[in-house]
Structure 1
Amino acid sequence: MQRRDFIALAAAGIAAPWARAQTGWPAQQIRWVVPYPAGGGTDVLARAISEAMRPLLNQQPIVVDNRPGAATNIGAELVARAKPDGYTVMSADNAVLAFNEHLFSKLPFSPEKDFSYIGAFGRFPLALVVHPDFPAKTFKDFLAWARANPGKLNYASPGNGSPHHLAMELFKTRTGSFITHIPYRGAAPAMQDVMGGQVPCMFLDLPAGLPVIQSGKVRALAIGSARRVAQLPDLPTLAELGVKDSEVYAFQGLLGPAGLPADVVTQLNGAINQALRDPGVVKRMQDYGMEAQPGTPRQFLDMARAESRRWGQVIKAAGVKLD
């Protein structure tokens, strides 16, 4: 092929698959870091998506490596310092991408500069739930009760700086209510105490929340999404209920260390977008109430930085710090 012909084909996008194939990547297994313990929603989703991606990446094994701790900073630092060869990637969520740079006075990495943004997976909204015996049966009554009893209403969360915690802090700002935070060590014990009535309410993510909402173990009052979700069609959004600018999502995507070769990023991004159409992945995401977000690396980066700016304001206003 003449050089001028190759350039013309590349400009038209025709030569791209041929050019990528010449790199020989991947030629060995890929390590996929999950900064949470095994068995949680992030871990399960990573395993489902990585399995669907494997046939698209030369059938190379993709091995999930759980590295929990320090509010996801342990796993994130490991990936930020990894060799940028495409063989170490990670599942990243709100903590790595938007929260921690505002929650910690010092981080061992920069979310903007020390990672290659590969692609988003999707996002799932959080729902405001209460114990079934809580006296307020509707959102309107809940808000009236909270405003009439400042400081007397407690809410649970999986821990300081979690999406659930910050969702309620945003809610408090938007509604002028005073609700006291009770942090737990994980989502499961927080949810158990709300179901048991020890703490009356919390924002609950749909992967964990759908089964207990549908079974009546907690009562959902509102959903923090832009639109109602198919799994709970009768549950109104916060915006419908008059709480503006109150969307609260947990979102996830794939990162690698800064400096990943452009062709590797392109292959991984294409594999993610195709995996999001895999029937098994689609079902898993539907079960979790998760909205798929296929797109480009640039769209993922822009979304993450916008979320960081948004939540940085909430964190500063609430005075939340983790060190």
Structure 2
Amino acid sequence: MLRNDTTPTRLHLALAALLFATLPFAAHAQAPVWPPKLVRIIVPFGAGASPDIVGRVLADSLQTRHPGTNFVVENKPGASGNIGTDAIAKSTPDGSTIGISLGGPLAINTLLFAKLPYNPDTDIAPITLLTQLPSVLAVPTSLGVNTVAEFLAKAKADPKGLGYGSIGVGTLSQLCMEAIAQKAGANMVHIPYPSSPAATTALIRGDVQVACLPAIGVTPQLATGAVKILAVTTAKRSPFLPDVPTLTESGIDVQSDAWNALVGPGGLSKEVVATINAEVTQTLAEPAVIEKLKLQLITPSPTTPDQLRKRMADEKALWAEVIKAAKIRID
């Protein structure tokens, strides 16, 4: 009888030992997949550019929610955003490195450069669209036009071609102007500048007769009376400029949305992508974040990873014919 009484006890002890032995593994399995102790957010553009602003707002919010993790923004500008985007693509796919990029490095640059050091289709994992910001078609007041129709009439009547400013070869500001010129049948001369402020200054001085630039760079100049905004380039009117018509409303079928997106290296697991997507979507819904972005005329626009992948493909298709017709290349 004594032997029969002790047998269950030994069994219970063995089961208990086995249970305690597996607890660390169970705890590990339930641990959050993201974030790790350090997260690098690579921005392929310089400090003060819209991707940098968005990246720092994002990092601040995530840091507040995850005080045990350090979120570090690293600027890696150069080669139209290709250098920083390549650094994202070649990082370890464990969630410790993510980055903010945009339509150029993620889509359009495949049409502009003979070769990229990464393939956006395979080396980049889309996480979510982050934000959108309007661009505007602006002219110096001295040009004497008040509508898109009046501007196009003047442009088509000038045999030498009006000069338009942009923030660089192959940028959205050039592509938008080339699309307008092609749709209108007007000849225009491209004059690139190194930055949006430089192009805006040229517009104010009348060094160029028109430019398609980020709205945030032009709107502060409206009070001076030196420039006029004729249209926004977005599909719908901007909530920040509700009285300004779109290009489509103005009779020219051109749409151009500037956007920022969050991406990771191509090998990033679906589980990590989903977790980051949920975290960032939460950030973009925070009232404080919305207000910070609003100051820059930026609208939060989170999406699913698949929707971002489609946006990348659509962006490439949108500009392929414009680039080909204008013979724009960066070698």
> Normalization by structure 2: what TM-score?
0.87
- Report the number of matched residues: 305
- Counterpart of 2:60 in structure 1 is 51
What is the SS of the residue equivalent to 1:142?
helix
> Does residue 268 of structure 2 align to residue 260 of structure 1?
yes
Q: Gaps (5+ residues) in structure 2?
A: 1-26
Q: CA deviation at 1:20?
A: 8.2
Instruction: Show the counterpart of 1:80.
Output: 89
Residue 127 (str. 1) matches residue 141 (str. 2):
no
Structure with greater helix percent: 2
Q: Please state if 1:105 is matched with 2:105.
A: no
1:57, distance to aligned residue in structure 2 (A): 4.6
CA distance in 2, matches of 1:225, 1:215: 25
Taking structure 1 as the reference length, what is the TM-score of the superposition? 0.89
Tell me if 1:298 matches 2:306.
Answer: yes
Q: How does 1:1-323 map to 2 (within 5 A)?
A: 21-57=30-66, 59-213=68-222, 215-244=224-253, 246-323=254-331
* CA displacement at 1:21 relative to structure 2: 4.7
1:214 Cα deviation after fit:
5.1
Are the counterparts in 1 of residues 34 and 275 from structure 2 also a CA contact under 8 Å? no
Name the CA distance, whole Å, in 1 between partners of 2:53 and 2:206.
29
Change in CA separation of 1:152 and 1:85 when aligned onto 2, cut-off 3 Å: same
Deviates more, 1:209-218 or 1:296-305: 209-218
Contact in 2 for aligned 1:45/1:284 (Cα 8 Å) = no
Q: Which amino acid is the alignment partner of residue 220 of structure 1?
A: I
CA RMSD of aligned residues (A): 1.8
State the Cα distance separating 1:281 from its structure 2 match: 1.8
Which structure: larger Rg?
2
Question: For 1:123, what is the secondary structure of its paired residue?
Answer: strand
* Alignment check: 8 A CA contact 1:20 1:263 kept: no
209-218 or 188-197, larger mean C-alpha shift: 209-218
| Aligned-residue offset at 1:79 | 1.2
What is the letter of the counterpart of residue 66 of structure 1? N
Aligned counterpart, 1:6: none
Contact 1:97 1:305 in 2 (8 A): no
> Which stretches in structure 1 are left out of the alignment for 5+ residues?
1-17
- Equivalents in 1 of 2:159, 2:102: separation in Å? 32
* CA deviation after TM superposition for structure 1 residue 261, in Å: 1.7
> Structure 1 residues 135 and 20, CA, compared in 2 at 3 Å: closer, same or farther?
farther
CA distance in 1, matches of 2:302, 2:29: 21
